[in-house]
Amino acid sequence: MMLKKIKNDKLKKRIRRKLRIRNKIYGSAVVPRVTVFRSNKHLFVQAIDDATGKTLCSASTYGRSPGVQDSNVAAAKSVGDALASKLIGLKIEEVVFDRNGYLYHGKVAAIADAIREKKIRF
């Protein structure tokens, strides 16, 4: 990714953090990488097999019922819970968590805690 072309300094710093994190972690079919993306309105979480470059399962607040559609901590817990249920259906017991350059606080931490509550290890 060309950081020189990005004008927004806040975005540029997040992408630098993201690349630093991605150099250290790697997901496989047995232990996928769970990555988080936060937009202004929605939260997106997906489990990725980096060996093949395919998404194994995903969950988001986009297209849900109006009460869960907000991008808040309660919605983050429900998204994490939904992804964990899908991972259990795929018989995956361990994942690698990719916070994608975001602070591990608030919504991102709520997603991780909801996944841990379903007995999926990090």
What pLDDT score was predicted for residue 68? 59
Domain 9-117 has CATH 3.30.420.100: yes
Helices 73-89 and 107-117: crossing angle, nearest 10°? 40
Alpha-carbon distances of 35 from 4, 24, 91, rounded to whole Å? 25, 14, 18
Q: Which residues of the chain have pLDDT under 70?
A: 1-2, 64-69
CA separation for the pair 37, 52 (Å, rounded)? 21
Domain ranges of the chain: 9-117
What pLDDT score was predicted for residue 66? 56
What pLDDT score was predicted for residue 7? 79
